[in-house]
């Protein structure tokens, strides 16, 4: 019996091409397995083999989605595979979106079994878990062994056309498809058992996970704005011309801190937006439309506001993971607190 032919999609980092400085790496087809493909190969044993690996930089894919997707699909198709695996992407946002996009296209356009893996807070998970099988992984590459342990068996099942069990059994994220089955114990008995475990501090697995919402106590209102120190923070991606810190247009992995002391107007020659989720024409023509330095300057002259903080903070909200957004907020908040800022104007798009 011949082995199952597998094509593996990975990014520039896992292909050992480079990090962020190589994120513009164009699609490349390599023979055999590369990087994490070795772990899959070991897990497959004699059942399957990775015949080729497609490598593509995260920024290149996300900034050239349609053309990159076509190129990647052509490369995959050329290998006549029985199965395609994308990632795993863990908590890397752009990588997750790329993996999900490729996986969905493989399923829809090539009609091939496919799966990917990523952390639950990866934006790609929410975008694609109802379209393709997305195995739940840990949030970093340190969880590679655990990810492969779950992805490889499910991949083989998909390739063989075997019946796929529930998300809890197979390790993929719930995709909205429900199947009726008979439990050995009735609901009330299972609920009491879970409650006893919870009260005893023991591990238990809920049958219906409830969403978790942050609740932040609002701060006290500022009574005298004429003496207040105001800071500007934005998720609209406004950056100095040329985007010196290379903040990504989608699924940002960083934020920028920029000095605007003495700046009264964000001109077309000096500022632009790095955001890839809205039409940048108007923001590039006048970045004050997103980050209102000109209006704040006017209010300071009129005595309505005390002063503007010398730094503004910026990132891109487009597809950025919740975990990253929380981390940015915590770091920026501490800096503003240490600089005795009284209030923040947070702008979006």
pLDDT tens-digit series, residues 285-326: 999 999 999 999 999 999 999 999 999 999 998 877 777 888
Alpha helices in 79-186 (DSSP H): 93-105, 123-128, 144-160, 167-170
pLDDT of residue 1: 63
Q: What is the mean pLDDT of residues 241-254?
A: 90
pLDDT of residue 176: 80
In this prediction, residue 264 has a pLDDT band, given cuts at 50, 70 and 90, of: very high
pLDDT of residue 249: 87
Separation between Cα atoms, residue 322 and residue 91, nearest integer Å: 10
pLDDT at 208 over 90: no
Classify 4-170 by CATH class: alpha beta
Separation between Cα atoms, residue 58 and residue 62, nearest integer Å: 6
| All CATH 3.40.50.2300 domain ranges in the chain, comma separated | 4-170
pLDDT of residue 182: 81
pLDDT at 133 over 90: yes
In this prediction, residue 113 has a pLDDT band, given cuts at 50, 70 and 90, of: very high
pLDDT of residue 322: 77
Among residues of the chain, what percentage have pLDDT more than 90?
A: 77
DSSP code of residue 236: B
In this prediction, residue 177 has a pLDDT band, given cuts at 50, 70 and 90, of: confident
Over residues 225-242, the pLDDT tens digits come to 999 999 999 999 999 999
In this prediction, residue 204 has a pLDDT band, given cuts at 50, 70 and 90, of: confident
HEC secondary structure over 42-66? HHHCCCEEEEEEEEECHHHHHHCHH
Is pTM beyond 0.75? Reply is no
pLDDT of residue 319: 75
Over residues 47-85, the pLDDT tens digits come to 999 999 999 999 899 889 999 999 999 999 999 999 999
pLDDT of residue 183: 83
pLDDT of residue 143: 94
HEC secondary structure over 303-346? CCCCEEEEEEEECECCCCCHHHHHHHHHHHHHHHHHCCCCEEEE
DSSP code of residue 206: -
Contacts of 56 (CB under 8 A, 6+ apart): 9, 11, 12, 25, 26, 27, 28, 68, 72, 98
In this prediction, residue 97 has a pLDDT band, given cuts at 50, 70 and 90, of: very high
pLDDT of residue 273: 96
């Amino acid at each position: 019996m011949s082995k199952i032919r597998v094509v593996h999609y990975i990014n520039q980092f896992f292909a050992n091409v480079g990090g962020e400085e190589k994120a513009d790496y164009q699609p490349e087809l390599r023979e055999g397995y590369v990087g994490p493909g070795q772990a899959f190969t070991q897990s497959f044993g004699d059942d399957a083999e990775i015949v080729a690996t497609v490598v593509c930089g995260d920024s290149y894919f996300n900034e050239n989605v349609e053309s990159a997707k076509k190129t990647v699909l052509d490369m995959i198709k050329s290998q006549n595979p029985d199965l395609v695996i994308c990632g795993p992407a863990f908590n890397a946002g752009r990588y997750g979106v790329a993996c999900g996009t490729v996986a969905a296209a493989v399923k829809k356009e090539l009609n091939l079994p496919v799966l990917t893996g990523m952390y639950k807070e990866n934006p790609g998970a929410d975008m694609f878990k109802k379209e393709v099988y997305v195995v739940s992984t840990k949030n970093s590459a340190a969880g590679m062994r655990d990810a492969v342990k779950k992805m490889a068996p499910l991949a083989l099942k998909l390739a063989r056309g075997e019946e796929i069990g529930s998300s809890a059994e197979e390790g993929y994220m719930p995709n909205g498809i429900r199947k009726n089955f008979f439990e050995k114990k009735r609901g009330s008995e299972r609920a009491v058992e879970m409650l006893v475990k919870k009260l005893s501090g023991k591990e238990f697995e809920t049958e219906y996970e409830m969403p978790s919402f942050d609740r932040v106590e609002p701060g006290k209102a500022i009574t005298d704005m004429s003496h207040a120190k105001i800071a500007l923070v934005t998720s609209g991606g406004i950056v100095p011309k040329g985007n010196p810190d290379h903040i990504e247009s989608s699924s940002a992995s960083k934020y920028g801190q920029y000095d605007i002391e003495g700046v009264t107007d964000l001109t077309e020659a000096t500022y632009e937006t790095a955001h890839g989720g809205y039409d940048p024409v108007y923001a590039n023509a006048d970045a004050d439309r997103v980050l209102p330095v000109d209006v704040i300057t006017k209010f300071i002259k009129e005595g309505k506001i005390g002063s503007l903080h010398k730094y503004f903070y910026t990132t891109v909200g487009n597809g950025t993971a919740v975990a990253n957004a929380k981390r940015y907020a915590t770091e920026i908040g501490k800096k503003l607190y240490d600089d005795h800022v009284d209030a923040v104007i947070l702008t979006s798009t």
